[in-house]
Amino acid sequence: MSYAENIVDKAVHLFNKVKPAAETPHTEEPKTPKGGDFLVKTTPAAHIFIPEEWNEEQVLMANSLREFIEQEIHPILEELDAQKDPTQSPRLLEKAGEMGFLSLAIPEEYGGLDMDFNTNLLFGEVGALGFSFATTIGAHTSIGSLPIVFYGNDDQKARYLPKIATGELKAAYCLTEPGAGSDANSGKTKATLNSAGTHYLLNGQKMWITNGGFADVFIVFAKIDQDEDLSAFIVEKAFGGIELGAEEKKLGIKGSSTVQVFFTDCPVPAENLLGKRAEGFKIALNILNTGRIKLAAGAVGGCKMAIHKAIQYANERIQFEQPIAQFGAIQHKLAETTARTFAAESATYRIGYNIDQKYHELVAEGFSSAQAKLQAIKEFAVECSIMKVHASEVLAYVVDEVLQVHGGMGYAVETGIERGYRDARITRIYEGTNEINRMLSVGELFKRAFKNKEIDLLGSLKSLPLHLLKNTLPNTGSDKFAREKELVQNLKDAFLLVGLRAAQKLKMELAQQQEIVLLLADMLAEAYVSESVWLRIEKLYAKEESGKKSEAYKMKRNLARIYLYESLDKARKAGEDAINGFATGAEKALLLRVLYRLLPKYEVNPIQLRRKVAEYLNRHKGYAFIGY
C-alpha cells in the first residue's frame, strides 16, 4: 500500500462513524446560496459578482462621493482631527445629506434612494477616503439609522427617516457600557414605565458613542424593569435628561465625535419603543452584521488609498540613483499588499451580492422589504464576521507596510501616512472585536450544522478520502483552473477535517477552548477568501477574448496566485496548531499527515509573481485595480 493510499485508508477509518446526509455533498449550488454553504457546495463563477461589473451609474455615484471627500474633507483633515469647531462634522453631514449620500439605505417612501446592498458597500469603500469622517457618516447611515429602517413601525419611520436622510437629524447608536462591552446584553441601563403608562424613564450610562457629541437621535438599548434581555428605544436629545461627557482623546479617528452619554430620568414616549420588548439584543446583533460587512468594504477602500500613495512615493523617492520602487524589498511590499487587498475585495462584494440575491428571493416569497433586508443580512452572518476580521487585518498589514515604504517620512505627520496607520487600528475593535467575531463565525456555522441542521458538514466530510486520493492523481482535464480549484477545495476540507474532529472530541468543551476556535476561524476565512478570489479570476477569464488575455487580467491572476500561495501556508499553520491543541498520539500523527496531504505547497514562484505585479503597478503610477 502506497503512502497516499495508507493515509486515505486511515482517514476512512477515522471518520467511519460519520453519517452522510441524503443529498450529495459538494453539488452545484442554486443561484441564491445559503449562508455558510460555501463549505459544502460548489459555487459556479458565473453566480458571483465581481467589482469589474460595476455599472455606469454605480461608478458615477462612487466618483461623486470621492469628489465630495476630496473637495470638502481633505482640505480640513487637520482641523477635523483637532476638533476645535464642534459644528464642523454636523455641517459636513448636512452637506453630504444634500448630495444624497445619507439616504442610500433608506426606503424611497421616506425620502431615501433605497439602493441595493452592494452599492451601499461600494459607498462604504469610497467613504474610507475621508478618514475619520468615514466613521462619522458610517455611524449615521448604518448603526444609527438602520434599526429604524428594519424594526421601526410606519409612524416611527415617517417621523425620523426623512430627516435622517437629509442630515437634519444626526443619528448615534448607544449599546456599549463601562461594564458591558463584548457582553453587551449585560448592560445596566434601565427603562421604567411611568404610572401613567405614557413614558419610559431611562437611567444609565453609555460609552464610546460615535456622533454622540452632536447627535439629535440615539438608538438606546436598556432593560425594562427586571427583564433579562435588552429592549431598544428611539431617544431624542430634545427629550431632556441627557448629559454628554467630554470628547474622548483617542489614538485614531480623532475627527469623529466619541463621548459618554448619561441618562437621568430621560422621558421616552412609550411609542418610541423600537421593535418588541426584550428583543433589543437581537436587534443589536442583526444591525452589527450590517456594520461588519460595511467595515470590510471600508477597509478595502483604506487599503487601496494607502497602496496608491506608497506606489507614488516609491516611484518618486530616489536612493542609490534610482527610484526605490525598483528594489525587490519594496516590490515585495507593493505586490503583497495589493494581492491581499484584491482578495479581500473579491470576498466582500461576493457577500454583498449574495445578500442582494437573498433579499430579492425573500421579497418574491412575500416578505416586506424591511424584513427581507434583515433576513438576507442575517443569512450571511458567518461570512460577515469572517470578512470583518479578515479585511480589518489586511488593512492593518497594509498600513504598516505602506508606512515602512515611506520610511522616516511615513512617521512624520506632514505626509498623512501616520493618520491612516492610527485610524486603521480601531477596525479590529469596533463592530465586535476580531476575537469575538472569530468565535462568532465558527460558532454560528456549527450552530447551523449541528443544531439547526441547515448545513451538512458531517456528510460533506465523507468526501474527504476521495479528495485525498484525487490529490495523488495527475490532472488530465482541460479545466484551466483545475489545480487552484483543487487547492481551494482542500482548504475547505482541511477546515472540516480539523474543525469537526475537534468538535467530535471536545464536544461542548470546544467553546471554552478559545484558542482552538480562533485557529479554526482563520482556516475558515482562508477557505472563503481564496475561493472568492479564484472565482473572480475564473469569471474574468470567461469575459476575456478567446486566445487573447489582457495584461490586466494576467496581473489579477498573478495576484490570486500570490494570495493562494500565502493562504495555504496560513491555513496549514493554523490547522497544525489546532491539532496539537486537542489531539495526541496516533490520532495526532494521522491528523497532521492528512492535513499536510491536503495543504501542500502551491508550486509557483512567488518572488517572480510579485516582481511582475510591482512592475505593472509602477508603470501605472498607482493602485491599478481601483475599479471606479
All structural domains of the chain, each given as residue ranges with its CATH number in brackets, are: 3-29+455-619 (1.20.140.10), 53-170 (1.10.540.10), 172-277 (2.40.110.10), 281-434 (1.20.140.10)
pLDDT of residue 189: 98
Return the C-alpha cell found at 57.
451609474
How is 145-166 classified by DSSP, letter by letter? THHHHHH--HHHHHHHHHHHHH
Low-confidence ranges of the chain (pLDDT < 50): 1-29
The residues, ordered by sequence, that sit 6+ positions from 508 with a Cβ below 8 Å of its Cβ are none
- Report yes or no: 379 and 293 within 8 Å, Cβ to Cβ: no
Cβ count near 378 (within 10 Å): 18
The residues, ordered by sequence, that sit 6+ positions from 440 with a Cβ below 8 Å of its Cβ are 381, 385, 432
Beta strands in 25-153 (DSSP E): 27-28, 41-42
pLDDT of residue 470: 67
List phi, psi (to 5°) of 62. -60, -40
The residues, ordered by sequence, that sit 6+ positions from 416 with a Cβ below 8 Å of its Cβ are 77
Sign of CA dihedral 100, 105, 110, 113: positive
The residues, ordered by sequence, that sit 6+ positions from 51 with a Cβ below 8 Å of its Cβ are 345, 346, 349, 627
The C-alpha cell 461623486 sits at 64
Q: Round to whole Å and give the CA distance between 341 and 176.
A: 31
pLDDT of residue 430: 92
How is 598-610 classified by DSSP, letter by letter? HS----S-HHHHH
pLDDT of residue 477: 66
Bridge partners (DSSP) of residue 204 are 263
Q: Which one-letter amino acid corresponds to residue 54? A: W
pLDDT of residue 473: 60
Give the active site residue among 379, 401, 418, 431: 431
Q: Round to whole Å and give the CA distance between 481 and 469.
A: 19
pLDDT of residue 155: 98
Return the C-alpha cell found at 293.
460587512
Which of 370, 330, 293 is closest to 122 using CA atoms? 293
DSSP state letter for 238: G
Q: Round to whole Å and give the CA distance between 387 and 383.
A: 6
How crowded is the C-beta side of 311, counted as CA atoms within 13 Å?
24
pLDDT of residue 420: 97
Percent of the chain with pLDDT over 90: 88
pTM of the predicted model over 0.85: yes
pLDDT of residue 9: 45
How crowded is the C-beta side of 259, counted as CA atoms within 13 Å?
18
The C-alpha cell 455533498 sits at 25
pLDDT of residue 3: 35
Which of 550, 530, 120, 123 is closest to 340 using CA atoms? 530
Instruction: Respond yes or no: is residue 431 known to be catalytic.
Output: yes
> pLDDT by residue (tens digit) across 388-422?
999 999 999 999 999 999 999 999 999 999 999 99
